[in-house]
Structures are given as C-alpha cells and as structure tokens.
Amino acid sequence: MPELPEVETVRRGLEPAMDGACFAKVDVHRGDLRWPLPNDFKARLQGKTVTGLGRRAKYLLADLSSGDVLLMHLGMSGSFHVFREEGDKKLARYYHEREKHAAHDHVVFHMSSGAIVTFNDPRRFGSMKVVPRAKLDAEPLLARLGPEPLGNAFDAAMLAAACKGNKTSLKAALSDQRVVAGLGNIYVCEALHRALLSPKRIAATIASKSGAPNERAERLVDGIKAVLSDAIEAGGSSLRDHKRPDGDLGYFQHHFRVYDREGERCVTPRCPGIVKRMVQNGRSTFSCPVCQS
C-alpha cells in the first residue's frame, strides 16, 4: 500500500500534466471504486481548470476553478499513467504496477495540456470524490487526520502531547493516523530504527506526565522527517529517470534500513545486531534488538 512519500511522488509526477490545465473530457469506465463515483462526477470536472495540486496525508487534492476540490486516493493498487496523446507511447507511469491491462483504467482525464491521465486500479480500493473547498474541513475522510509529518507544526512537543498517557507501543501509536498522518508499516519501522527506539516501547515514554517532550521525542520526530524526506528525494530521482521506458515507481527499497531485511546485519554504525521480524497488531515489524531500545 502506498505511503506518504509514494503519494507525494505521484503528486509531483502529475503536476506538469494537470496543474493549470482544464479537464477537456472525462471518461468513467467503471464508477464503482471503493465508493461509487457521484452521478455528477464528470459534470463537476469537465470544463474546470486545475488551479493547484496538493496533498494531505495520502490524499491528492486538485483545486478546481469552480471552487470544488477533487480528492483522489490510490488505495491498495491504484496507479496513474500519463500519456501525451491517445495511443501514444506512455510518458510515465506513477505508482506500482500490478496489472497493465487497460481493463483496469477506470477513469481517464483528457487534459487541455494534451496529456491523458488514466487512473488504473485492479483491486478498486482507490477512490475519488468531489468536495466544495469550503466544506473540506468537515470532510470525514480528512477531518480526523493528525498533523502532516513534514509540516512545520509537527515537532517533538506535538508528538509528545499526542502520546501522553498512551499505553500502546510506539509502533501502534505512529501507525495511528490521528497521531501523525500518512505513515504506514514501512516508514514507521524505518523511523523507529533511525531514532534507535524499540517498536515495542510504550508510546507514553517519549513524554513526561504533563506531556512535555523528552529527548526520545526529539529523536523520533527527526527520524520521521528524515526517512520521509529521503524517500521523497529518491522518488524525485526516479521521476527524473522516467525517460527510461521501463521506469517504474514503487517503494524505494534500496533505501530501507530494516524493513524486509530480517536476518541481515544492522546498518547502524558499530552495531553488531541482526535485524529481527516480529508481528505487532497483525503486521510485520522489523527492528534491531541491539541498538533500538
């Protein structure tokens, strides 16, 4: 499932095709995505210009000249592909590709820029929704999301306050979208390793009783920001490499320090540890039992 860095990379990949361009025509081949597309979906997009393409957690938000916002979520298997002209060689494909068949191109945007943007999603857990900008704050999909981890407001004090009195593990706390938005299994494991904190550590131990941050909270926020920034940078390089026809964007696996590295040597300098896998809340957690405590 895509996490924040992958979604940000998709946003950057779509921006040149969509930002400032108008939806000349919208084709819906299948409207039964995770939720059915609204009946007025095409009408609310066609003829409208994209005035900005943003991101909130794992949602892409296209601001439209009509005052609406198009919300898009990749779900488990969604991908966007950008073509320059119908039948033309694909310019780029954004997001991991499990199925190349055009039968899964459920939504097609013909942009006034000349670009054709297709949304392909074999498992149809992805979603699209059109919401008036004025009602975005009340949108249920976004309302309960915690702070944006790369935003300036997200710091040790904010994370500590969210973990104050929280008796769950740090792994569970960081996976909770209300504590911090957009992190999933992979980047939680990676951030905890960078912060040298055990995924089993009780979340409340990064804060004092009053909720003030300690040095662990500082390390953890630094770890989260660093791992996401590095992944987005790696995604940016893979976008630039998209001149290659086989360029495929997925997770930037060569950068993982613990995720999916069970049995391998820990990469922390001078640490003799071996990466271990355990199961927490039904998900695999990878960590080093020596340097993470």
- In sign, the C-alpha dihedral spanning 165, 171, 177, 180 is positive
**Which of 111/291 has CB closer to Zn ion?**
291
151 with 177: CB under 8 angstroms? no
For the window 257-276, what string marks contact with Zn ion as x by the rule CB under 5 A?
Answer: ---------x-x--x-x---
User: Is position 5 annotated as part of the catalytic site?
Assistant: no
- For the bound state, the minimum distance from the C-beta of residue 171 to Zn ion, rounded and expressed in Å, comes to 17
DSSP state of 85: S
Regarding 192 and contact with Zn ion (CB under 5 A), the answer is no
- For the bound state, the minimum distance from the C-beta of residue 180 to Zn ion, rounded and expressed in Å, comes to 24
The single residue of 16, 225, 283, 289 carrying the catalytic annotation is 283
**Which of 66/268 has CB closer to Zn ion?**
268
Instruction: Report residue 69 as tokens.
Output: 């916002």
> How many residues make up the chain in this entry?
293
User: Is position 133 annotated as part of the catalytic site?
Assistant: no
Regarding 290 and contact with Zn ion (CB under 5 A), the answer is yes
Q: Using CA atoms, how far apart are residues 121 and 30, in angstroms rounded to an integer?
A: 10
- For the bound state, the minimum distance from the C-beta of residue 257 to Zn ion, rounded and expressed in Å, comes to 9
Regarding 288 and contact with Zn ion (CB under 5 A), the answer is yes
User: Is position 58 annotated as part of the catalytic site?
Assistant: yes
Q: Which residues of 111-127 are buried (b: 16+ CB within 10 A; e: fewer)?
A: bebebbbbbbbbebebb
35 with 78: CB under 8 angstroms? no
Instruction: Report residue 59 as tokens.
Output: 């949602």
- For the bound state, the minimum distance from the C-beta of residue 174 to Zn ion, rounded and expressed in Å, comes to 19
**Which of 72/186 has CB closer to Zn ion?**
186
Instruction: Report residue 90 as tokens.
Output: 């694909």
Regarding 289 and contact with Zn ion (CB under 5 A), the answer is no
User: Is position 2 annotated as part of the catalytic site?
Assistant: yes
The residues with which 109 forms a beta bridge, in sequence order, are 26, 117
- For the bound state, the minimum distance from the C-beta of residue 193 to Zn ion, rounded and expressed in Å, comes to 8
- How many chain residues interact with Zn ion (CB under 5 A)? 7
Give the distance from CA 37 to its chain's centroid.
Answer: 22
Q: Using CA atoms, how far apart are residues 37 and 58, in angstroms rounded to an integer?
A: 19
The single residue of 44, 48, 56, 58 carrying the catalytic annotation is 58
Return residues touching Zn ion (CB under 5 A). Answer: 266, 268, 271, 273, 288, 290-291
Where in the sequence numbering do the catalytic residues fall? 2-3, 58, 283
